[in-house]
Amino acid sequence: MRSSRRGQVDPFIVMDVMEAARRAETAGRHIIHMEVGQPGTPAPRGARDALRGALESDGLGYTVALGLPALRSGIARLYRDWYGIELDPERVVVTAGSSGAFLLAFSALFDAGERVGVTEPGYPSYRQILRALSLDPVGVQTAVENRYQPLPDDIRRAGNLAGMIVASPGNPSGTMLDRASLARLIETCAASGTAFISDEIYHGIQYEAPAVSALEISDDVYVINSFSKYFSMTGWRIGWMVVPPDHVRLVERLAQNMFICPPHASQVAALGALGCRTELDGNLAVYTENRRLLLEGLPKAGFTRIAPPDGAFYIYADVSEMTSDSLAFAAEILEKAGVAVTPGLDFDPRRGAQTLRFSYARATEDIREGLRRLTDFMAERKAFPASRQ
């Protein structure tokens, strides 16, 4: 059977790591999961209760393409509560996860062959979705001294871009942009006619200061978010985006044809989750402690070259002094320490062979045990260098 060039995308390596960890667990090993950005907590009780009630009383058929009006209004209220923004619910588009939002955004904004900037390091699926849509992802390299966030000059050096995707807090770094820095990036893109897409999927998970939404600065942006991270609903595949007023109908037509509507059951659960912020902030307390443990423990284990995260639940480590093959290094850690971590190749095709990402989204006891195993592994690796793979 023939295949298209658009289908020739790279694998999502973290999913391969998950599969390797699953095989190890099937073989009877106990694995500490520090590879995937998935909360260890279930969906909040209000989400589960809302769906339980709907299953007894509602056929859960098609909704309108842009999502349940009540959910769109609830998301708009979230922007008032978090950022002090009075957002028109008509601008909110409910999507099948943030992945569905990226498909809609890229289809609405760009024509085949256009160049779209993605940060390196950055979320790998940006590049692969762009390629699958016959778009050209352009790596915009960031520096550890800038905490892996882009500067206006980094974007300018990339040349003529139709769009630029920026995440704050970032994945894999967990670092954030303050209001002034984010505003400079938006202004730089606006000056060159470059569409600005703000990935805000980790908003709500921050530690010293609140995250800044691009909507606090401009309405002429696309903002993408999800119920996966703060709301602890990864597998429910429900997200949203906010678009400029004159793009609502454009996106609606695409959504009607590409998805018909977001999953009705997940929309009901998401609406219930919006009322559970006390419970969800309790999860944030767990991430805060996990972050503290890793920031103290990773350097003691030997992972010293890190940019402390402001948000999300990741730490990105430069391991160039230890390896030039992060894929093999991650496999060695899984095999010998029983800890699953993600090689940086997922996030940075040029420098990722010398980096690892550690996720601290799981239970605190798992993080403690993972640190103990990593410390023992690194000590043995240092004592017996000939055993390195």
* Element holding 346 (H helix, E strand): none
Q: What value, to the nearest 5°, has the Cα angle with vertex 75 and ends 219 and 148?
A: 60
Is there a single domain that holds both residue 203 and residue 308?
no
144 CB-contact burial (10 Å; exposed 0-12 / middle 13-18 / buried 19+): middle
**24 and 59, same domain (yes or no):** no
In a domain, 179, yes or no: yes
Q: Based on the domain organization, do 71 and 182 belong to the same domain?
A: yes
In a domain, 263, yes or no: yes
Answer yes or no: do 159 and 101 share one domain: yes
Are 10 and 110 in the same domain? no
Confidence of residue 10 (pLDDT cuts 50, 70, 90): confident
pLDDT tens track for 59-68? 899 999 999 9
**Cα angle 301-307-308, degrees, rounded to a multiple of 5:** 80
**Tell me, what's the pLDDT at 388?**
52
The answer on 71 and 28 residing in a single domain is no
Considering the domain boundaries, does residue 389 fall inside one? Answer: no
Q: Are residues 271 and 346 in the same domain?
A: no
Distances (CA, A) of 267 to 102, 214, 244: 18, 24, 22
Both 32 and 103 in one domain: the answer is no
Is 51 within the bounds of a domain? yes
Q: Which of 227, 251, 275 is the last residue of a domain?
A: 275
Of 230, 256, 275, the one marking the end of a domain is: 275
Determine the pLDDT at residue 387: 53
* 188 falls within a domain: yes
Q: In this structure, what token pair is assigned to residue 194?
A: 């470059």
Question: Which one of 275, 304, 331 terminates a domain?
Answer: 275
Confidence of residue 232 (pLDDT cuts 50, 70, 90): very high
| Number of domains comprising the chain | 2
Number of H helices, E strands in the chain: 12, 12
State the residue range of the domain holding 306.
Answer: 5-42+278-379
DSSP code at position 210: P
**Residue 336 — pLDDT band, cuts 50, 70, 90?**
very high
pLDDT at 386 over 70: no
Would you say 357 and 172 are in contact if contact means Cβ atoms under 8 Å apart? yes
Same domain, residue pair 249 and 301: no
Q: What is the pTM of this model?
A: 0.94
Judge if 258 and 324 occupy the same domain.
no
- Express each pLDDT in 180-215 by its tens digit: 999 999 999 999 999 999 999 999 999 999 999 999
Domain presence at residue 388: no
Same domain, 13 and 85: no
Give the CATH number, domain containing residue 248: 3.40.640.10
Same domain, 270 and 287: no
3 state SS for 61-127? CCCCCCCCHHHHHHHHHHHHHHHCCCCCHHHEEEECHHHHHHHHHHHHHCCCCCEEEEEECCCHHHH
